[in-house]
Amino acid sequence: MRISIFGLGYVGAVCAGCLSARGHDVVGVDVAKDKIDMINAGKSPIVEPGLGELLQQGIQTGRLRGTTNFAEAIRDTDLSMICVGTPSKKNGDLELNYIEAVCREIGFVLREKTTRHTIVVRSTVLPGTVANVVIPILEDCSGKKAGVDFGVAVNPEFLRESTAIADYDQPPMTVIGEFDTASGDVLQSLYEELDAPIIRKDIAVAEMIKYTCNVWHATKVTFANEIGNIAKAVGVDGREVMEVVCQDKTLNLSQYYMRPGFAFGGSCLPKDVRALTYRAGSLDVEAPLLNSLMRSNESQVQNAFDIVESHEKRKVALLGLSFKAGTDDLRESPLVELAEMLIGKGYDLSIYDSNVEYARVHGANKDYIESKIPHVSSLLNSDFDSVIDNSDVIILGNRDEKFRSLAQEAPQGKQVIDLVGFMSKATSAGSRTEGICW
C-alpha cells in the first residue's frame, strides 16, 4: 500500500520503519527539514533500538523516503497516517494545533484528488476529537463528505519507548476505530499478517480505549509504589509482595473486577482498604491513590441515587440488597447504603432479594438484619411481581439472572436503572432502560 505518515517523531518514525520493512511504500512528512534529511540518509531521528537499521533498509530498497512537501505526499499515496504530537496545555487539556494544521493541509489536497483517500489518526486524542475537530476540518477544506468521498479511521498506538519495534511486530491487539466499514477494511489489511486480534470499534470507543490503557498503566505503577512504601514501613519487601500478587491470573490480573458498574462492598474489600490506609497514615506513609478508593466508591453510590432522582418518580423497586448475587451477606453492601439514601429522601421503596428474605428468617445474618438495618429490612417483599407492579422506577442491584429480562425489555410505563450490566446496548435518549456506566 502507498502510505504517507505525517509527523516523524516517536510514533511516526517507528511506523515508517516498520511499514516499509513490511513491503509498503512509505512517504514520511514533517515540517522539520533536519528530520527529513536524516530519514533520507537512512538515519533515525530518535533513539530507538533497531530503528536506524529499518529506516536504512527502507531507503536502500526504495520503499521509504522523506519530504516536506505535504501536497505531493498526499497525491502520491492512498492512506495518510497522522502521527503529530498532542502535548498538554497548561490546564491539562490537549493542544490540537498540529492535528488541525495537518487536517487542513490534507483537506485542501483532497479537494483536487479524484481517487478515494483514507485518513488515519494515530496521534493520541480524546474521545470526540475526530468527530468534532478532524472530520469538520477535512470536510470544510476538501468540500467532500467523510465516509463517502474519503475515509476516516483511528488507529491508536501501543508502542513503548525502547521496545517499540517488538511492540509493533508483536502487539497484544490492534485497535481500529472506523467511521465507515471501507475505512476499517483498508486499515485492517495493514495488520492481518500480525499474530494478534484485530478489534474494530466506533471511532469514539477507540479514542477512549487508548486513554483507558494509558491511565490504567499509570494507576498500576502508582498502586505498586504505594504498596511498596507501606510494605517497607512495616519491614516487608514490596517487590516480594507484588511478585506473588501478580502470579494470580484468575482475580488479580484478569477482567473479573474490570467491569464498570456499581460500588464494591462485602465483608472484605471496604474493611481491608480502610485498615491498610489507616496503617499507612499511622506510619506517616503517603498513599493518595489508596486513600481515594473509599471516596470514589461512595461517589458511585451517590451517582446511582442521582440517576433515580433525575427521573422524578417516587415509587422505587430495589432488586437485590446483598452486595452481590448468590449471597445473603449485607455487610458493607452499597445497596443497603443506596436504600438508606432513598428512605432518607422519602421515596416509597420496596425491596426484593430472595436470599436476604431467607436469611431474615433462617440465616446467620438474621441478627444483623433485625438489629442493624430494621428500617431497611422492613421494606423487603417476597412477592417479586408485586414489587415490580407497584413501582415506577426499577433498580437492578445485583446479577441475579431473574432480573436480566427487565433490562432487555423494560415493563411498560416503568424506568429501569441497571447497576450491573445486564443491558446489551448503551443508554440511548428516550430509552426506558439506563445504565450507571453505559
Provide the residue-wise pLDDT of the chain in tens; the chain has 438 residues: 999 999 999 999 999 999 999 999 999 999 999 999 999 999 999 999 999 999 999 999 999 999 999 999 999 999 999 999 999 999 999 999 999 999 999 999 999 999 999 999 999 999 999 999 999 999 999 999 999 999 999 999 999 999 999 999 999 999 999 999 999 999 999 999 999 999 999 999 999 999 999 999 999 999 999 999 999 999 999 999 999 999 999 999 999 999 999 999 988 999 999 999 999 999 999 999 999 999 999 999 999 999 999 999 999 999 999 988 888 888 889 999 999 999 999 999 999 998 888 767 676 677 778 777 888 888 999 999 999 999 999 999 999 999 999 999 999 999 999 999 999 999 998 899 999 999
* pLDDT for residue 372: 79
* pLDDT for residue 355: 86
Q: Which three cell numbers stand for residue 116?
A: 478515494
Count other Cβ atoms within 10 Å, centred on residue 70: 21
The reply to whether 1-201 and 294-433 are identical in fold is yes
Specify whether the CB–CB gap between 404 and 418 falls below 8 A: no
> What is the domain class of 1-201 according to CATH?
alpha beta
* pLDDT for residue 140: 98
Which residues belong to the active site?
268
* pLDDT for residue 283: 96
Q: How far apart are CA 337 and CA 316, in angstroms?
A: 15
* pLDDT for residue 359: 67
Q: Which three cell numbers stand for residue 192?
A: 492481518
- CB within 8 A of 120, min separation 6: which ones? 79, 80, 81, 82, 152, 153, 154, 155, 183, 187
Task: Quote the strand ranges of 23-71, DSSP E.
Answer: 25-29, 64-67
* pLDDT for residue 361: 62
Q: How far apart are CA 292 and CA 274, in angstroms?
A: 11
pTM exceeding 0.95: no
Q: What is the residue extent of each domain of the chain?
A: 1-201, 294-433
* pLDDT for residue 364: 63
Q: How far apart are CA 265 and CA 329, in angstroms?
A: 10
Q: Which three cell numbers stand for residue 87?
A: 502535548
Q: Is domain 294-433 given the CATH code 3.30.1950.10 in the classification?
A: no
Q: How far apart are CA 341 and CA 347, in angstroms?
A: 9
* pLDDT for residue 366: 76
